[in-house]
Chains A and B, each alone.
Chain A
Amino acid sequence: MTSVRLVLADSRFPGGGHAHSGGVEEAAARGLITDETSLKSFLYGRLRTNGLVSAAFAAAAVGGDWFTLDVELDARTPSPAQRAASRAQGRSTLRAGRVAWPSPRLDALSQPHHAIAIGALVDVAGGTPEEAAECAAYLSVSGPASAAVRLLGLDPFRVNAIVAQLDIAAVTEEALSGLPMLGAPALDLFADSHARIHQQEVRLFVS
């Protein structure tokens, strides 16, 4: 087993993940996330939808056709703000990943979706689809959880416990059985609102 999924999932990996809240900032601005309980519900919904789709595409990118997957993931991402956030994270992840796991195969990618960048790096580092899925599923909630701590001053121990108790394993397993289409209507609305409001007033996170 390689260490690729540990390195990618580490919050110290310089992939630019710290700039994104995954909808937490907009949901908090609307008063929908106020405490650990409402954060837990948000993260559960995020993992079951966006997390599952990301995990499945990361898994499929290991040994898969990255171009076809890019088109398919676009079709599952109706919100332009979500696509932009995914590609921004994908680009930063790829930039750091190229140095860690150099491979001419990565030249085929320029601004990949985040999930496909994860899968491609796991692939060239010699990892498995399951490791890529687990990593993507975890990243779909770990970054937003840490954003909530910073935005709302929540108890970091309790927030960490919420992340630890989410069923990443179940989502990882489900992600290995095909390319799901499950959308997240509220996350899409938050992403587009966030992008609109971000242009008018200062926000802490890009998305």
Chain B
Amino acid sequence: MRARSRLVVELRDGRSVLTELRSAAPWTLLPQRGRVRSVTGTAVVHLVSSATAPLGGDDLGLEVCVGAGARLRLSGIAATLALPGHRGERSRASIRFDIDVNGTVEFLPEPTVVTSRASHSSVFSAQLADTARLRYREVLVLGRVGEPPGSLDSTVEVLRGDVPLLRQRVDIGDPALTASAAYLAGHRVLASELLVWGTDPAAAHSGDWWSLAPLARGGSLATALARDAVAAQRRLAEAIAGHPGFSTVDAASELITVSIPNRSVANSRS
């Protein structure tokens, strides 16, 4: 399945408005309407996988443009299961953000679970204007309980103007590598959160299996390794707590988000 989705958010009269929203199955973009209005005028959208995806052979793309001063929070609803296709083809997902001056994006998908025969590549890329802010979380779970993981590679590339802030790839699939104390040290969950969000910490903060590291040219990366997703997210939260520029009130996290299952598309995939 080849699908291209697109979302454009612009600032109109002090509010962030979705001026373009094109969902392509299996990815559905669900704007949160009415009831809870963010004090900061942040647009809140849920990214819902409306069919089983990604399956081997899928080629999914999402492009998001955030205009000057606009704010977007894009959240996942449920964990993504990377599953194999019929003929063992690799599935691909690409998500690209373009954030203009003073634009703000929080992209918080739920964990990705790499099932045993999955073969999946994902790319997250973001192009930031000088004063743009970005928060991006990625949680990778190696297999369901008691299951060895399949193959996955995940690439993150974030640039501010012409300057690369972070280029990082994670490869899952070589058991000798994931077991190595130099790589994942046998942990089942790798969680990371990138914050390009105001003042970075002057030095790294770290605990046993987490750290918050200021990047060389701006932005900070929180990393955590754990046996399960709950512990990983707790360690990540501990890391993020040490970030001086980030505050959750600022980040629209105070919103009570309500998910609305979209039944009309839930079975669109045969």
Whether A and B are associated in the same complex: the answer reads yes
Query: With A32-B185, A75-B216 known to touch, is A181 a contact of B211 (CB < 8 Å)?
Result: no
A27 contacts which chain B residues (CB < 8 A)? Answer: 181-182
A93 sits at the interface (CB 8 A)? no
Q: A71-B163, A79-B213, A189-B209 are in contact. Are A195 and B181 (CB under 8 A)?
A: no
Determine how close the nearest CB of chain A comes to the CB of B45; give it in whole angstroms.
28
CB–CB B182/A72 < 8 A: no
Separation of A44 and B139 alpha carbons in the complex (Å)? 25
Per the 8 Å Cβ criterion, residues 204-254 of B in contact with A are 204, 206, 208-211, 213-217, 221, 223, 225
Q: Is the CB of A41 within 8 A of B163?
A: no
Q: How far is the CA of A32 from the CA of B209 in the complex (A)?
A: 13
The distance in angstroms between the C-alpha atoms of A80 and B215, with both chains bound, is 7
A177-189 vs B, CB cutoff 8 Å, 1 = contact: the mask equals 0001111111111
Residue among B169, B190, B213 with max Cβ neighbours from chain A (10 Å): B213
The answer to whether B206 touches A186 (Cβ under 8 A) is: no
Q: Does A192 contact B (CB under 8 A)?
A: yes
Instruction: Say whether B169 contacts A180, CB under 8 Å.
Output: yes
Confirm or deny: A81 has a beta carbon within 8 angstroms of a beta carbon on chain B: yes
**B203 in the interface (beta carbon within 8 A):** yes
Q: How far is the CB of A52 from chain B (nearest CB, A)?
A: 11
B182→A49 contact, CB < 8 A: yes
Q: Are A45 and B167 in contact (CB under 8 A)?
A: no
A107 to B189, alpha carbons, bound, how many Å? 45
Q: A44-B177, A83-B216, A188-B211 are in contact. Are A78 and B182 (CB under 8 A)?
A: no
A residues at B contact (CB < 8 Å): 23, 27, 30, 32-33, 38, 41-46, 48-50, 71-72, 74-81, 83, 180-189, 192-193, 195-196
A79-B213, A185-B223, A186-B180 are known; give 13 further A-B pairs, CB within 8 A: A27-B181, A30-B208, A44-B177, A46-B182, A75-B166, A75-B167, A77-B216, A79-B211, A185-B183, A185-B192, A187-B183, A189-B209, A196-B206
- Listed A/B pairs (8) with beta-carbon separation below 8 Å: A42-B182, A75-B165, A75-B217, A80-B204, A181-B169, A185-B184, A185-B192, A187-B182
